[in-house]
Amino acid sequence: MPSLQHRLNQAELARRQWEHCLLCEHRCGANRASGERGPCHAGVEARVFRHRVECGEEPELVPSHLFYLSGCDLRCAFCIAEANAFDPSRGRVLTSEFLQRAIAWGKTQGARNLQWVGGEPTIHIPSILAALATCADLPTIVWKSDFYGAPVAFELLAGVVDVYVADFKFGNDECADRIARVENYCSVVTRNLKIAAEQSDLIVRHLLLPGHLDCCFRPIMEWLKTEMPNVKFSLRDGYQPRWQARRHSELAFPILRSEVEQARQLAGEAGLNVIA
């Protein structure tokens, strides 16, 4: 666990982002403290729209106490959190007092760690670090992210996060732009994977999307095979056509079992370190 002084220092540095926000790769420079809003629409308050202990994460992490923050820097059409993910005004304000009570409750439920999820936690780093700074007896901190953060985000998280779970969604920029409305996706995410791997334990997660085996899964698999052959790889097959997924014909239905079986076979043949 990082020292109290380290946590306080990181929280103070993070607050500067509220006046000129460069936390995500949009790098909009919004003065969130004065009411300006960037692509994520977030202000200076982080809000938790749900927290609960879950056992559906990677086996080595469960039971995990997940804190779902509203607001996101991506606009994935298939987002399972739906409107909660994109409206940063939803939920209760994250404070140290709330967090300490929630952590204590989570421990009574057998939680092994505290996991920040979303929406996207990266846009709320100042609030998260401020809430963590004065909490005593913190559990393992897990950071589940879309990994579209800017380098400064990972600088602020260094020494605070114990495990990164990177949601590597798309294997090419065209799919990322069409489905999630972000640019230069692959270069940003792969850069950040290398940064995170130098800092902490790293799990790379990929949700298999119907019709995206060749355009997304294969390029991700090949990149991992070449650049990070030993990284823990979590291959998820629980896709659901939620939110606005039906705007994209290939995403309008659940993934075929044959696609899942083929992906797992390919991952095995590539020698990837599949953990789930």
Quick one: average pLDDT of 240-269? Answer: 97
Segment among 2-6, 26-30, 110-114, 181-185 with least mean pLDDT: 2-6
Q: Which two tokens stand for residue 65?
A: 């106490």
What burial class does residue 137 get, using C-beta atoms within 10 Å of its C-beta: 0-12 exposed, 13-18 middle, 19+ buried?
exposed
Count of Cβ atoms closer than 10 Å to residue 187 Cβ: 11
Kindly list the distances between the CA atom of residue 95 and the CA atoms of 10, 100, 137, in Å, as whole numbers in the listed order: 16, 9, 16
- Cα first-last separation, the chain: 27
228 vs 206: CA distance, rounded Å: 14
Q: Which of 189, 173, 267 is nearest to 229 (CA)?
A: 267
From the list 22, 31, 115, 38, the residue with the least C-alpha distance to 72 is 38
For the chain, the average pLDDT equals 96
Whole-prediction pTM: 0.96
CA 91 → CA 88, 103, 184, distances in Å? 8, 17, 31
Gap between the Cα atoms of 75 and 60, Å rounded: 29
Cβ atoms of 118 and 85 closer than 8 Å: yes
Q: Residues 108-158: pLDDT tens digits?
A: 999 999 999 999 999 999 999 999 998 988 999 999 999 999 999 999 999
- Tens of pLDDT, residue by residue over 205-239, are 999 999 999 999 999 999 999 999 999 999 999 99
Question: Which residue type sits at 146?
Answer: D
What are the domain boundaries of the chain?
4-274
User: What CATH number has the domain spanning 4-274?
Assistant: 3.20.20.70
Whole-number pLDDT of residue 267: 98
